[in-house]
């Protein structure tokens, strides 16, 4: 199965290879910093809830 994936990857155009690699890097970055992302989302919701109360 690994050999199939490697041969599939090698046959892809260069731009698709780059997009796949960047997608994986983005997912890893999200997993590593998920606590900070969650805190920012909660802070954003609290900000908009305060704006709507007035």
Q: What is the pLDDT, as a whole number, of residue 16?
A: 95
Q: What is the pLDDT, as a whole number, of residue 52?
A: 63
Tens digits of pLDDT across the chain (54 residues) = 999 999 999 999 999 999 999 999 999 998 999 899 899 999 988 888 776 655
Q: What is the pLDDT, as a whole number, of residue 54?
A: 54
pTM > 0.75: yes or no: no
Task: Locate all alpha helices (DSSP H) within the chain, ordered by sequence.
Answer: 2-10, 14-32, 34-53
Break the chain into its structural domains and give their ranges. Answer: 2-53
Q: What is the rounded CA–CA span in Å between residue 23 and residue 26?
A: 5
Q: What is the pLDDT, as a whole number, of residue 50?
A: 76
């Amino acid at each position: 199965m690994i050999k199939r994936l490697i041969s599939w990857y090698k046959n892809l155009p260069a731009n698709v290879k780059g997009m796949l690699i960047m997608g994986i890097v983005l997912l890893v970055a999200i997993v590593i910093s998920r606590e900070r992302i969650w805190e920012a989302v909660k802070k954003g919701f609290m900000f908009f809830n305060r704006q709507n109360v007035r």
